[in-house]
Amino acid sequence: MTQTLPSAAAAVPDPSPDLLARAAAVRRAAMALGQCGDDARRGAVRAMADALERATPRIEAANREDLEAATAAGLAPSLVARLRLDGPKLAAAIEGVRQVAELADPLGRRLLHTELDEGLVLERITVPLGVLGVIFEARPDAVMQIASLAVRSGNGALLKGGREAVRSCAAIHQALREGLAGTAVEPQVLELLTSREESLGLLKLDGLVDLIIPRGSNELVRFIQDHTRIPVLGHADGICHLYVDAAADPPQALRLAIDSKTQYPAACNAIETLLVHKAIAPAFLAAAVPAFAAAGVELRGDPAARALGVAAAAGEADWSTEYSDLILSVKVVEDLAEALAHIARYGSRHTDAIATADPAAADRFLAAVDSAGVYWNASTRFADGFRYGFGAEVGISTQTLPPRGPVGLEGLVTYRYRLRGEGHIAADYASSARRFTHRSLPL
Footprint of its own copies on 396-435 (CB under 8 A): 399-402, 404-406, 414-427, 429-430
Task: Say how far apart CA 49 and CA 176 lie, in whole Å.
Answer: 8
Residue 312 CA: distances (Å) to CA of 272, 299, 328, 329, 393: 15, 6, 10, 9, 37
One character per residue 122-141, x = contact with its own copies (rule: CB under 8 A): x----x-xx-----------
381 binds its own copies (CB under 8 A): yes
Count of residues in contact with its own copies, rule CB under 8 A: 72
Shortest distance, CB of residue 307 to its own copies, whole angstroms?
28
Shortest distance, CB of residue 39 to its own copies, whole angstroms?
16
Amino acid at 224: I
Sorted by sequence, the CB contacts under 8 Å of residue 183 that are 6+ apart come out as 40, 43, 44, 47
Of residues 27 through 46, those in contact with its own copies by CB under 8 A are: 31, 34-35
102 binds its own copies (CB under 8 A): no
Choice between 161 and 238, CB closer to its own copies:
238
54 binds its own copies (CB under 8 A): no
80 binds its own copies (CB under 8 A): no
- Which of the ranges 61-69, 135-143, 172-180, 258-266 carries the binding residues for its own copies, by CB under 8 A? 258-266
334 binds its own copies (CB under 8 A): no
Q: Are 101 and 45 in contact (CB under 8 A)?
A: yes
21 binds its own copies (CB under 8 A): no
Shortest distance, CB of residue 189 to its own copies, whole angstroms?
15
Site for its own copies (CB under 8 A): which residue of 134, 330, 383, 394? 383
Site for its own copies (CB under 8 A): which residue of 5, 25, 40, 116? 116
Sorted by sequence, the CB contacts under 8 Å of residue 351 that are 6+ apart come out as 238, 240, 269, 371, 372, 373, 374, 375, 380, 383, 405
Strands 131-136 and 211-215 come out as: parallel
Query: What is the full DSSP assignment across 296-316?
Result: TPEEEE-HHHHHTT--EEP-G
One character per residue 197-216, x = contact with its own copies (rule: CB under 8 A): -------------xx-----
Residue 437 burial (CB count, 10 A)? 11
Of residues 231 through 250, those in contact with its own copies by CB under 8 A are: 231, 249
Shortest distance, CB of residue 367 to its own copies, whole angstroms?
5
How far from each other are the two terminal CA atoms of the chain, in whole angstroms? 47
Q: Are 190 and 121 in contact (CB under 8 A)?
A: no
Amino acid at 409: L
Task: Say how far apart CA 247 and CA 357 lie, in whole Å.
Answer: 5
Choice between 264 and 290, CB closer to its own copies:
264
Choice between 35 and 71, CB closer to its own copies:
35
Shortest distance, CB of residue 168 to its own copies, whole angstroms?
27
Site for its own copies (CB under 8 A): which residue of 172, 336, 371, 394? 371
Ordered alpha helix ranges (H), 73-111 = 77-83, 87-102
